Structure 1
Amino acid sequence: MRDRLYPYLHVCNAGPAPSIATWLRPSYPAVPSSSRVMHPVLQIDEILVDILSTVDRASLRSLGLACKTFYEPAMNALWYRIHSLVPLLACLPEDAVERDEHGSVDWNSCIPRALTSTDWARFEAHAWRVREYIVVIGYRYYPSLFDLSHAMSLAIIAHFGDRPMLPNLLKFENEHIGLCTKDAQLLLKPPVAVRVARLDSKSGDDTTGALIANLLIIRDLDGIEELSVGAHEAMSSELFLLAGMPRLTYLSIVINDSWVTPDWMSQFSTLPAGSFSALRTLKYSSTALDTGIGAGRGDIEQFLTTLDTFLAKATSCMPFSCLMVKFHRAKWHSQYEDKLHMLCSCIAMHCPTLESLVITTDKGKPSARAVLPLCNIRGLHTLKLARILPSDLTPDAIRTMGAAWPHLRELHLGTKHPDPGITATVTMLHALLDALPALAVLGLPVRAHNALGHSAPEQLAAATRPIVPHAALRLLDLGRVYVPDFGIEQFAAALVRLAPAAEVRSSWLHARSSQAEYHVKQERNARVLAQRVSELARERQL
């Protein structure tokens, strides 16, 4: 009887694949760890959200059915994110929609009779709980899940009219706008207050008209603050449909396979100066640079040419202060350092007033020369070179950075290659903190598993030499740090003397099962290191 009253809870745990359980994931947003650190005394509702974020769906179902007190919070957690309208359609009466042999409803279901307001009651009772609607990549191979039958579309339009189906929707993501053509039309109706939207297309999708149609719908929503646009085909005038959006503060442009030609960018000159008046963050990226010469796809030369032209034209009407550049699968080999130098020079030339810069790639190990052109951007407050750690970040190079960025508050350096070890890491910490007095957040991953793991105690002792404390540093991220058992105490002591007020973090990635035991020890030692740093810092304060 209870399953009959709450069909969504029933279908979440029933039926062979593909079942609704595969379309819905445990997705209630967890309270960020940073929030727990900043606010150790949580309110009752915050504690409840934190608990429910870790509960599986079966337990949420039992909780909602067994206790009236937890019914509403459990239902809110269960319905927070959906990946299609299928779960909501399952709330319709059994005789209102045709079902398959498993009792499930799909988008192609026929309507055997006219639907009344009573039939939609349970649908609407849960629709208001939905905050995120995300069409994920795995469902592109099941187009029937997304293409509503004509009868179903008419039934929805007849009942909701101009009202939004999901009135409290905050986030809309559609990775296959070519397949899912009706999602935006049905869901994104004013006054729905969607703040975050993402439109993407994959190879093979018919995106020419779909992207324009979706952008036209998005443009009419006054509340959009963050927008990501990805296209398989070259973008032309589609981007200019976004001009004039009053609250758009974040814009991400992703070209998946092919590259735009510089010609269409000349249209920027036709836009008035205030076209993107609220824009503060611009992300420009590619997910498919050429993996080999002659492969017929975008390469780094095209990337640099396009980015150079884009920044030259866009900066006049886009007053962004944060720039993010991201590209993957680039086979550069020996040209990597020269190309990265060109990229940094391009950014420094066109964006001299940037306050925040993020560059992400996945290849190469450059020298300091490649990134030194960024020193021409004098107002930088945040610099993230994800997976880029200059191999020869010499004291001279560090002093040059310090002279250029006296107000730099956040610096992240990353690498996919082993570091020299604890001694060299602490030496680099000394130099960076001496040159950058305002630095409050520093990310300096330590990943030298073998070199660090076999360091002798006498080598670690060099890290404990007398130093001048850096009082401004509040957060030190060491990445996947591994410190041997005999080195924890010495390294922790060195870190506390270096930055007595800093919190030490270790972002962790679990390895394959063959290395599970080895990495469990790494994770344990990283946790012990962070705990020991905290203890020593408290003792120092006392």
Structure 2
Amino acid sequence: MHPALQNLEVICTISSYVERTSLPALASTCREFEHPALDVLWRDLHSVSPLVNCLPSDLFGSDHGCSVLQKPPDGKVWDTLFKCASRVRSITITRSYRSENPQTEALSLLMLSCPSTPASFFPKLRKLTLYDNGTRSTAEFLRMTFVPSLVELNLQITSASSTTLPVLSSLGTLCPNLQRMTVQVARARDDWLRKTLPFLIQSVSQLHHLHTLSVCDLGHKGMEYLMQLRALQSLSLDLTTSSSWDTLPQVQSPGFQDLKLLKLSTRTIEHASNFFRSLQIVRSRGISFNFASHHAGSSASGSAMLSQFLAILQEKCDNDKLESFSFIRLGNMQPTELGIFTSLHAFRNLTQLVIEEDCDISMSDEELCQLVKAWPKLRVLKLGLYNTITLPTFNGLIELLRLCPVLTSLSLVIDATELDGIDLKCPGGGLCNKHIKFLALGRSPLRSPVNVAVILSGLFPYLEEVDICGSASNKWIIVNDFLSGFRLVREQRIEACVCSDL
């Protein structure tokens, strides 16, 4: 054998590049390759079927549609199972919901007859992703996969049975090193939440190493526990199925002292307003919102409610700390004035502003510049706002580049048919942005692809192409063709200059 193949690191690297179907053959070639090849083969499972399939076919049977053990597992069965399962680092099961998953049901039966502790099934498991229906076998499968080595859990179930809830409540004890967790229950309603919350709250309150959490409404008591998790950095709260925020809570909570990101999903803007009113302060570097609708039985306009909500944010948030602000969805609200968003000027250290939802709103060059003038540190700007009457032009875009000189990503709808005042030989009057790596102009109308390409090439000399996803005109494809040609000519000129200097 070549000396290089006696190096374990080299063998592990080779094994990681081998096709999965060839790994068993590689493992059988010699002892040096056996363990590294088997480690790669069993490291990531997208089903537990391989584990069940490596066991004797006569071990399981069926009784009225349910899996049953035909005989007690012997020592050889346990040796085979532990040899494979001990190598598993991640399990991902995202099949469609069914009445039962026969593979997880089979493993659950084995666990009941296991001569050692349930944690011995997957002693090195680090990540578990399970989309399931929450039956008894789900609870038993979770019990064998909730191990101390687990650091990431993504759980989505249609309902939680009386056997699943106790297992969830033991999560903090069984998985003390958990760092990232997502728990979602499809079609959850208030009655389910009332029954489930005590179990979820107990588990979450014990996860002192948790830094990323995505969960449904845990109620006011659960929120207070979340605020005590000092390691928590990213929190996503789905309040869309809860009615507890229909009214303002009577007691204020301390709030969050040190988050990197707070993501909030609510049915209405009023719910989000009540949520923030219930907190004394929110110190977070980033905040993201998703509203299903703009009002629920309210006579107030969408613009008025949004304006009131932004005023509450200004009062409750640490204005100096907030760096990222996103509206992922604004529901069916149709604001009429861009000036609504100028209250965000209080957050003077913004580096990212994202408003993804399309809104029917007028935005002139002056209004665009008025919006962004307070944020010279802005690196990411995405405005999904559009209107068929008034759109910013290239003049507004050039002024935007002057006000925000460090932009690296820009998404904006402009009127690219309006070229008045633009010098094609020097579009920005000497101003350009060499940092932009992503530019999306959406449904921006245009007439002359070559002129638009000339302007964009002058403003963004290192831009490779315009993102045309969602574009309403094939002319943007032609713009990208011209940009590619201009870039090639520029590179050839640079190469010629270098060669002449040599």
Q: Could you state the TM-score of these two structures normalised by the residue count of structure 1?
A: 0.64
- The 5 A counterparts of 1:96-495 are 96-98=59-61, 108-127=66-85, 130-136=88-94, 138-142=96-100, 146-147=104-105, 151-155=109-113, 157-158=114-115, 161-165=118-122, 167-174=124-131, 176-177=133-134, 180-190=138-148, 192-194=149-151, 196-202=152-158, 205-206=159-160, 210=164, 213-214=167-168, 216-218=170-172, 220-231=174-185, 232-234=188-190, 235=193, 236-237=197-198, 238-239=200-201, 241-243=203-205, 245-254=207-216, 264-265=219-220, 268=223, 275-285=228-238, 303-313=268-278, 319-328=283-292, 335-351=301-317, 352=319, 353-361=321-329, 363-364=332-333, 366=335, 367-388=337-358, 391-414=361-384, 424=392, 426-444=394-412, 464=424, 466-467=427-428, 468-471=430-433, 473-478=435-440, 487-495=448-456
Structure exhibiting the larger radius of gyration computed from Cα positions? 2
The alpha-carbon deviation at position 210 of structure 1 amounts to: 3.9
SS of 1:326's equivalent?
strand
SS of 2:177's equivalent?
coil
The alpha-carbon deviation at position 442 of structure 1 amounts to: 2.0
Query: Unpaired runs of 5+ in structure 2?
Result: 1-9, 244-264, 496-502
SS of 1:323's equivalent?
strand
Query: Unpaired runs of 5+ in structure 1?
Result: 1-42, 53-58, 101-105, 291-299, 511-517
The corresponding residue for 1:89 is 52
The corresponding residue for 2:500 is none
Question: Aligned Cα RMSD in Å?
Answer: 4.9
C-alpha offsets along residues 293-319 of structure 1, whole Å, 9 cap, x if unaligned? xxxxxxx99643443343344565x75
SS of 2:60's equivalent?
coil
Mapped partners of 1:384, 1:46: distance in 2:
41
Flag the 1:426–1:243 CA change in 2: closer, same or farther, 3 A. farther
Mapped partners of 1:309, 1:324: distance in 2:
16
SS of 2:55's equivalent?
coil
Higher strand share: 2
Mapped partners of 1:334, 1:319: distance in 2:
29
Mapped partners of 1:197, 1:507: distance in 2:
36
Q: Give the letter for the 1:321 counterpart.
A: R
SS of 1:384's equivalent?
strand
Mapped partners of 1:406, 1:47: distance in 2:
49
The alpha-carbon deviation at position 189 of structure 1 amounts to: 1.0
The alpha-carbon deviation at position 382 of structure 1 amounts to: 1.9
The corresponding residue for 1:535 is 488
Q: Does 1:496 align with 2:457?
A: yes
SS of 1:198's equivalent?
strand
Flag the 1:482–1:400 CA change in 2: closer, same or farther, 3 A. closer
Mapped partners of 1:241, 1:372: distance in 2:
41
Q: Give the letter for the 1:346 counterpart.
A: I
Mapped partners of 1:92, 1:507: distance in 2:
52
SS of 2:77's equivalent?
coil
The alpha-carbon deviation at position 129 of structure 1 amounts to: 5.4
Flag the 1:66–1:82 CA change in 2: closer, same or farther, 3 A. closer
The alpha-carbon deviation at position 187 of structure 1 amounts to: 0.4
Q: Give the letter for the 2:378 counterpart.
A: L
Q: Give the letter for the 1:349 counterpart.
A: E
The alpha-carbon deviation at position 44 of structure 1 amounts to: 12
Mapped partners of 1:149, 1:475: distance in 2:
49
Q: Judge conservation of contact 1:287–1:329 (CA < 8 Å) in 2.
A: no
Task: State the identity %.
Answer: 17
The corresponding residue for 1:514 is none
The corresponding residue for 2:498 is none
Count residues in correspondence.
Answer: 444
Mapped partners of 1:254, 1:140: distance in 2:
23
Q: Judge conservation of contact 1:406–1:437 (CA < 8 Å) in 2.
A: yes
Q: Give the letter for the 1:344 counterpart.
A: L
SS of 1:392's equivalent?
coil
The alpha-carbon deviation at position 88 of structure 1 amounts to: 1.6
Q: Judge conservation of contact 2:189–2:241 (CA < 8 Å) in 1.
A: no
Q: Give the letter for the 2:61 counterpart.
A: E
The alpha-carbon deviation at position 410 of structure 1 amounts to: 1.8
Q: Give the letter for the 1:136 counterpart.
A: T
The corresponding residue for 2:249 is none
Flag the 1:79–1:502 CA change in 2: closer, same or farther, 3 A. farther
Q: Judge conservation of contact 1:82–1:133 (CA < 8 Å) in 2.
A: yes
Flag the 1:473–1:239 CA change in 2: closer, same or farther, 3 A. farther
Q: Give the letter for the 1:111 counterpart.
A: L
The alpha-carbon deviation at position 164 of structure 1 amounts to: 4.6
Q: Judge conservation of contact 1:478–1:506 (CA < 8 Å) in 2.
A: yes
Mapped partners of 1:535, 1:289: distance in 2:
56
SS of 2:119's equivalent?
coil
SS of 2:314's equivalent?
helix
The alpha-carbon deviation at position 165 of structure 1 amounts to: 1.7
Q: Judge conservation of contact 2:172–2:206 (CA < 8 Å) in 1.
A: no
C-alpha offsets along residues 216-268 of structure 1, whole Å, 9 cap, x if unaligned? 4156534333222334134455446423633322222346xxxx8xxx42665
SS of 2:67's equivalent?
coil
Mapped partners of 1:164, 1:95: distance in 2:
21
